Amino acid sequence: MLPFAMSHASTLAIDARGDAMGGVGVVSASYLTAPFYNPALVAIYRRNDDAGMLVPSLGVSYNDEDQMLDKIDTAINSPSGATLNALHGTQAKVDFGGAIAFGIPNRYLAANIFGKAYAENVATPDIATGGTDIENANQSAVKTASVAVTEVGISLARYQTLFGQHFSFGVTPKLQRIYTYTSVSSLKDFNLNNIRENSQGETALNLDAGALWFNGPFRAGFSAKNMLSRNIKTATGVVDIGGRNINYGYEYQLTPLYTVGAGFIADYFQFSVDYDLNEEKKFTQFDDNVQMLRAGIEVDLVRQIQLRGGYMKNMARDSEGTITAGIGLSPLNIFEIDIAASYTSPQAMGATINFMTTY
């Protein structure tokens, strides 16, 4: 049995600074990472910022809190009603991705050109019943479903003063290429090498939008991601596992996600909270719904070192919360390296790293 050992994931923002702060970003992201959280932030930058690059950001995370992989090994080596029943309802998930961005701040219409690619992979057992323990073990399978999204776009934002209040508004038209993969393997043959079987792809246009209000260090914001919803169907078929026919075929829902955020964003200290107003359904046949509550802080030490920490919890499931931490290094303010790690349990962890420079 191969473990999940892959090189993001992520929060799908794929940003080490935000990941270290619990995944927040609706009011706290920089103009370079704004397209991944709230395009309105593209218009928020320092006066000496002329351009910037994020090249690149990479991340990976896995979640096997159900200990599905260990339970499969046990069922293979010691097949019994108990070991097979222990697999019912379990699942494992691994995500990974990368991103690049090029920001062009200006007071007329700030812009950020970006590219991002991420993949979400989920696996769950399909356990046979009705035979002997050995027959059930030989006829049981692991089903996997994956979606990989590649997108390129441009975020455009502008600062406005309305009724004496400070606002910025942004929009992101983007082109998405969406790939889906499915596989069905026997328990003993399951590994990650066949997770990219039965692929399909389609191209679509989508749109993000956002708004930000700020007064001194106090901010409040709203973002809408993937405003044009799509139902994406994977390949379908039937696989024979030990003489038992197993059907496969799934539907992935790429639906709008609405998030609000609020925070205190000062030069040397930041604290912010983001909350998803709705659930993301994702794969309709898997229990992988997501509705996140996130909180994070950052302490900046003389513009050279940034210490970060945070917490996030999926409110759509009765699951453990995740602790995050990270560090940013800005030697002589020439370039910046950000590193983040997340920990839910020994079976659920992640890491992200990115490199950026501003001029």
| The pLDDT value given to residue 340 | 97
Sheet (strand 251-254) strand order: 230-233, 251-254, 282-283
Question: Does residue 89 surpass a pLDDT of 60?
Answer: yes
Cβ atoms of 236 and 249 closer than 8 Å: yes
81, two tokens: 């009603």
| Closest C-alpha to 96, from 74, 121, 132 | 121
**Cα–Cα dist 181/34, whole Å:** 30
* CA-closest candidate to residue 289, choices 299, 298, 279, 297: 279
Is 10 a domain residue?
no
Distance of CA 305 to the CA centre of its chain: 26
DSSP state of 43: G
The amino acid that residue 252 corresponds to is Y
pLDDT band for position 282 (cuts 50, 70, 90):
confident
Residue type at 26 in one-letter notation: V
Evaluate whether residue 8 is within a structural domain: no
The whole-number pLDDT of residue 46 equals 86
Please give the structure tokens belonging to residue 169. 């508004």
Q: Is residue 50 part of a domain?
A: yes
**188: in domain:** yes
Range of the domain at 86: 16-358
What CATH number did the domain enclosing 315 receive?
2.40.160.60
In-domain check, residue 3: no
**Overall average pLDDT of the 286-295 stretch:** 89
Total number of domains in the chain: 1
First to last CA, the chain: 48
Residue 200 forms part of a structural domain: yes
What is the distance between the alpha carbons of residues 68 and 82, in angstroms, rounded to a whole number?
14
pLDDT digits (tens, 9 = 90+) for 26-61: 999 999 999 999 999 999 998 888 899 999 999 999
Would you place residue 9 in the very low, low, confident or very high pLDDT band (cuts 50, 70, 90)?
very low
Q: Is the pLDDT of residue 174 over 60?
A: yes
Instruction: Name the residue type at position 315.
Output: M
pLDDT for the residue numbered 7: 32
Please name the helix (run of DSSP H) or strand (run of DSSP E) that holds residue 76, with its range, or none.
Answer: helix 68-77
CA distance 67 to 343: 15
pLDDT of residue 5: 31
Q: What is the CA radius of gyration of the chain?
A: 22
- Beta strands of the chain (E only): which ranges? 52-63, 92-104, 110-126, 141-162, 165-186, 200-215, 218-225, 230-233, 237-241, 244-248, 251-254, 257-265, 269-276, 282-283, 292-301, 305-314, 322-329, 336-345, 348-358
What average pLDDT does the segment 260-287 reach?
92
Q: pLDDT at position 12, please?
A: 65
List, for residues 203-239, the tens digit of each pLDDT value: 999 999 999 999 999 999 999 999 999 998 899 999 9
Instruction: Give me the pLDDT at residue 3, please.
Output: 32
Q: State the Cα–Cα distance between residues 149 and 10, nearest whole angstrom.
A: 13
Kindly state whether residue 84 falls inside one of the protein's structural domains: yes
Q: Is residue 11's pLDDT more than 60?
A: no
Going by pLDDT thresholds of 50, 70 and 90, the confidence category of residue 193 is low
Please tell me the distance from the alpha carbon of residue 291 to that of residue 20, in angstroms, as a whole number.
19
- How large a percentage of the chain has pLDDT more than 90? 73
Task: Please give the Cα distance from 41 to 156 (Å, whole number).
Answer: 9
Report yes or no on 7 lying in a domain.
no
Confidence of residue 4 (pLDDT cuts 50, 70, 90): very low
* Tokens, residue 158: 């502008």
Angle at 104 between CA 102 and CA 109, to 5 degrees: 135
Q: How far apart are CA 246 and CA 128, in angstroms?
A: 10
Instruction: State what percent of residues in the chain have pLDDT above 70.
Output: 96
pTM of the model: 0.90
Check pLDDT > 80 for residue 69. yes
How far apart, in whole angstroms, are the C-alpha atoms of residue 32 and residue 52? 7
Q: How much is the mean pLDDT over the chain?
A: 91
